[in-house]
Chains A and B, each alone.
Chain A
């Protein structure tokens, strides 16, 4: 499997340690990990790239994850989105679900939990 055939996952989080953790785990599983620290960054990447999955943090400076997700559900409905939050209130979870999140994962998570979530969300044919 060459690099160009690797499935891409886009991680959107303003915290570097979270982004690094996700990259570390997902890369070890053979994904190509794209990343950015803002919603605007994510939209920019999505202009050229088509990831199989988005991992989006809810709370970010500037535009938050929920609003990003709302927009993507219009423009890129085919990409499933997993919502991450370190402050998983009922409101945020239910709002995420309402706006079309495929799954919710609360921080902190172990590598296994992350992978488990990702696998459940990914379209079957694209499963590694």
Chain B
């Protein structure tokens, strides 16, 4: 079964579809995965740009708020007079509107005069360093940006801020342990603006936003950039702000659904972004999930790298897209394979069914049937095979019929031969006596004429008997041919020349159409001569005066044995023709249409015997009143040995 054409075809189809499926699966999934990942990276990079814009916009808006305050009606007067009550009020209003965590006003030397917060008018000296005002003081210009603020500064501004800035370090997978336990300083967005009057610096207005544990910026990013998109119940986008490599403001969540402040960025990211100052986009393991992340360094107002801004999207979404595509590819391949099996089965059925029928049919033929069922003829090559098979069976049938009739013929001939031999032997001796004594009587001169006439009748009748017996003997004796190379046309010409006188007397013309380039045949010349003479004589007998006999020779293929080349001699007369019912008996011994005494009825039987012994045959076509044509066909190849015993 496994070696059947059907399974071979199915296996073939399967192999092809499997190969195509596997290749497309591999290439497709790779391409798709890569494009999905590329898409995700591009997106994350753009998200990081958006996050930075939000970060910078926040700084800008703070700067605007401070500038507006310096331009506020009566502000300069209050500064000049150091009306601290009014100034604190103004600072409080500004901080509220601009959402500042700290704000204050220094004198022209940079020492804080008043501020929001509990200790609004500080007396304590020395004051903790105020880096933003310091830079603005040095530059005599507004300064805005990110800045690291000491614990002391924060505590001075508001103890609450110092508290907010304190972040305990959490152990982080993938990050090396550190001996620090918590951070106490703060990273802030801060602005300092000199308060000027006519070129003279009256003081510095400053304010800022502490980033430590302040989620406003990262959540704004999440809300506006990631649009709060969720995947499988989780927010897809994350943003974090790092001080050095420590998350101080983030919406990355721990397992307890708390913001994962105090965790650290992976050393790899730190090395690229914080240490080298590169933008970096890569898949990264954040806390417990894989993200596609993008980071860039944050520089402080002095241009030093102090932290990192990072965004990331959950990789799982993109992995799932890839996985889904892979699944679809696998499904398509599976469907293709299933289709291949079905198609293979169907095509194999289409191909092998006629073949199976042919096998069955040939079995039937081998068992003797000549009408096997080969089913409908298909339109492809198998159909050609089916047709050929059909033709072969038909040819077999014809040949079997031919050999059967040949067998019957030779049996007939053999029995007639045995009879003839016996008859001849027994009859010829007494016939000798009859002939002798009749003729001896006829020699006498003293007999009456009527007696002489009677005696002559006896003599004639005896001669007839002799001829019949001779014919019988000739018929039974056809056992041997002595073949020699013969030119057919020459043979036909000599046979015709023997007949010409008789034809002339009867007023019948004999025409000869000689075929050209006919091969020589291996024939028993004298026997074949007698065949030709016999058929010609019959033709002449059948043809009335004024009629004609046409003899033609030509190359011809056998009608019963396909492909067998031979020479055909046709002898056509314009005589009386042969009735349909007589055609079948024409070659039977003793069948004759001539009047009694004129023919023995053995001529054609003997002729057919001779021709068959040469491997050929004689066929007749006839129409009553129009004439008959005898076709004598002899094969070209030497097949005499098959027929001579």
Which A residues contact B (CB, under 8 angstroms)?
15, 17-18, 20-22, 24-25, 28, 59, 86-90, 106-112, 114
B477, A90: Cβ atoms closer than 8 Å: yes
A87, B437: Cβ atoms closer than 8 Å: no
B432, A21: Cβ atoms closer than 8 Å: yes
Residue of A whose beta carbon sits closest to that of B439:
A111
Residue of B whose beta carbon sits closest to that of A25:
B436
Also in contact, A87 and B428, with CB within 8 A (given A108-B462, A108-B466): yes
Mask, B459-474, CB within 8 Å of A = 1, is 1001100100010010
Also in contact, A88 and B473, with CB within 8 A (given A21-B432, A108-B462): yes
A24, B436: Cβ atoms closer than 8 Å: yes
A17, B440: Cβ atoms closer than 8 Å: no
Mask, B589-604, CB within 8 Å of A = 1, is 0000000000000000
Query: Closest approach, in angstroms, between the C-beta of A104 and any C-beta of chain B?
Result: 14
A15 to B421, CA, bound (A): 17
A-B contact pairs, 28 of them (CB 8 A): A17-B429, A17-B433, A18-B432, A18-B433, A20-B433, A21-B432, A22-B436, A25-B440, A28-B440, A86-B424, A86-B425, A86-B427, A86-B428, A86-B429, A86-B432, A87-B424, A87-B428, A89-B473, A89-B477, A90-B480, A108-B428, A108-B435, A108-B466, A109-B432, A110-B435, A110-B463, A111-B436, A111-B439
Chain B interface size range: 20 to 34
B325 interfacial by beta-carbon distance below 8 Å: no
Mask, B432-456, CB within 8 Å of A = 1, is 1111110110010000000000000
B435, A24: Cβ atoms closer than 8 Å: no
A114 to B431, CA, bound (A): 14
Residue of B whose beta carbon sits closest to that of A91:
B480
A17 to B477, CA, bound (A): 26
Residue of B whose beta carbon sits closest to that of A86:
B428
Contact residues in A for B436 (Cβ distance below 8 Å): 21-22, 24-25, 110-111, 114
B interface secondary structure, majority: helix
Query: Closest approach, in angstroms, between the C-beta of A60 and any C-beta of chain B?
Result: 12
* Interface pairs A-B: 6 shortest CB-CB: A86-B428, A21-B436, A108-B431, A17-B433, A108-B432, A107-B428
B584 interfacial by beta-carbon distance below 8 Å: no
B199 interfacial by beta-carbon distance below 8 Å: no
A90 to B191, CA, bound (A): 147
Contact residues in B for A111 (Cβ distance below 8 Å): 435-436, 439-440, 443
Contact residues in B for A87 (Cβ distance below 8 Å): 421, 424-425, 428, 473
Most buried by A among B432, B443, B477: B432
Contact residues in A for B480 (Cβ distance below 8 Å): 90
A17 to B425, CA, bound (A): 14
